[in-house]
Structure 1
Amino acid sequence: MSDMPNSYPKSLFYNQHGAVLIVVLLFLILIVLVGVIAVKQSTTDLKLATSDQINTLLLQSADNANQNIEQSINGGSETSIYRDMLSRSGPFGHFMLNADSNNHEYVFCFRPRNRFFDINKASILTPSGSLVDNGYCDPSKSDDYISARNASMAQVSISLNPPSPTDEPFKSYTIGQDSSEISSQAFTFDINSTAVLPAYADTKLGNEDCFKKTSRFYTVSNDKDTIGGCMAKAGVPSAVIYEMVNVENQSKRTKCVEFGKGSGKLCTLPTN
């Protein structure tokens, strides 16, 4: 019985060793492929997670600017921020109190860590250029970022909503008011809040500063000439939130009185 293994051909043992080597190599190749696929999958998941975090941060930053603007206008008229927003030099008062401001664009950098709007730091864009040029966001200035992390910043653009042939007649007048009074007119504004992450890329496209581009896309023929299009071309993550609001000047409203109880505008006509 001990001599039986010697009766097998030697070539058979060599073939078996060769087969084992091939199987081992196949397993190694499979392990490498699985590892490569796992690494690619994890990288893709990381990119998706990072992209989702970026979009969330940008939307929160832009929406925060819009909420602060709404609160400042809907709040008490005795507050200083209300007076600044509606003053002749403010983002809404500039249009409501200046007759030649229809084609202007009021721009300021949203800075919520102190006072989100500084009346001395604003820019006014016109078709022929900038009237004032100190309100644009600057990535080199720490105060222009929304938080101390210096991650995101938001720039706000306010302009009058352009008239449209489909607009309802006299839509800008308050019902029950005389059209000759300034208090009877409501102004419709376009608010574009653009949030960006300057750490990802330079906010300048060549020699042009993207922050100094317009937000009114209907005034340009090339998307690159808007702030959002310029940021996208430069590779800077950005998001724009658009909001349309109505603001009515009530500072000169005449208070009505009941008939026979005082002088002034009557609330109702007398019955006899």
Structure 2
Amino acid sequence: MSKNQQYQSPNSSISTQQGAVLIVVLLFLILIILAGVIAVKQSTTDLRLATSDQINALLLQSADNANQNIEQTINSSSESDIYKDMLSRSGPFGYFILDADSFDHEYVFCFRPRDRFFDISRTSVLTPTGTVFGGKTGYCNPSNSDDYVSKRNASMTQVNISLTPPSASNEAFGSYTIGQDSGEISSQAFTFDINSIAVLPAYADATVGTDNCFEQTSRLHTVSNSEKTIGGCMAKAGVPNTIVYEQANVENLSLRTKCVDFGTGAGLLCTLPSS
């Protein structure tokens, strides 16, 4: 009588074990790859956040530097050349103070701190009709290395100055000095909106369609579409930008005479009334 016996090949168990080891190795390999991808994405996110913080700090510093220079100039000696330029008939403040028809205009110049930050011969005046007095020399130009804040050619800052529009909250005759004739220029205080916009032109082209973003207005209340403002246009074009807004009061004191209290000392004497 014959007996049938089944034999199991020893190689079958070995190949099964090798297949299981291969699967385990592949799983570990997948886990390592996933961990690496997560680490790279996390480091990339951290790098972007750090870069964003650096960009914001750079732009804020550039825009604020322009405002500080303007403040120091206006509050400095009236004998300095740059003070005379800024308060002259063609300067950013004298233009509005000495010309009654300029109330809805906008004065523009590119902030160039490496030399004298304000050049009266390189300015532009934008009117509501789109007319630009002085040509386009006041607008910052990314292709001009002199228009950048530093020699690194990274950031540039443009300053747009206009008269603050009237509002119902303003007190009647609040801009006049008490005791002086309202017809005199020296009795009026003028309130200005100063918008300093710092940008990084290297990140994107500062144009939207046919519009050059530097040539747009900073007066939001004059347009129906925010993209027609300089800040909105820059955002639409993808150019990193920061706008520092400041409201400043400038008063012409050229006709005032300092007097000495109660008739003592030298100069114009201020005496008490006789009755």
Q: Under a length normalisation based on structure 1, what TM-score does the superposition of the two structures give?
A: 0.91
- Residue in 2 that maps onto 1:69: 70
- Is 1:55 aligned to residue 59 of structure 2? no
- Decide which of 231, 234, 239 is 2:237's aligned counterpart: 234
Which range moves more in the overlay, 170-179 or 154-163? 170-179
**Could you say what secondary structure the match of 1:24 adopts?**
helix
Shift of 1:12: 3.6
Q: Following superposition of structure 1 onto structure 2, how do residues 8-87 of structure 1 map, counting pairs within 5 Å?
A: 11-87=12-88
Please give the root-mean-square deviation of Cα atoms over the aligned residues, in Å: 2.2
The correspondence for 1:199, drawn from 197, 202, 205, is 202
Structure 2 residues without counterparts, runs of 5 or longer: 1-7
* Whole-Å separation in 1 of the counterparts to 2:188 and 2:268: 18
Task: Provide the residue aligned with 1:111 in structure 2.
Answer: 112
Amino acid at match of 1:244: Q
User: Is 1:94 matched with 2:95?
Assistant: yes
Q: Percent identity?
A: 72
Q: Hey, what does 1:132 align to over in structure 2?
A: 134
68-77 vs 44-53, which deviates more?
44-53
Q: Secondary structure at 2:109's aligned position in 1? A: strand
Number of residue equivalences: 266
Q: Distance in 2 between matches of 1:35 and 1:162?
A: 57
* Shift, 1:152, TM fit: 0.5
Instruction: Tell me by how many angstroms 1:50 deviates.
Output: 1.1
1:105-254 to 2 correspondences below 5 Å: 105-128=106-129, 129-133=131-135, 134-254=137-257
How big is the shift at 1:113?
0.3
Letter in 1 for 2:111: F
Deviation at 1:18, TM superposition (A): 2.0
| SS of the residue 2:19 aligns to | helix
Give 3-state SS (helix, strand or coil) of 2:236's partner.
helix
Secondary structure of residue in 1 paired with 2:101: coil
**Residues of 2 paired with 1:269 and 1:106: CA distance?**
45
Give the match's secondary structure for 1:29: helix
Secondary structure class of the residue paired with 2:177: coil
**In 2, distance between residues paired with 1:144 and 1:68?**
16
Distance 1:194 1:166 in 2: 27
Structure 1 residues 168, 255: CA separation in 2 closer, same or farther (over 3 Å shift)? same
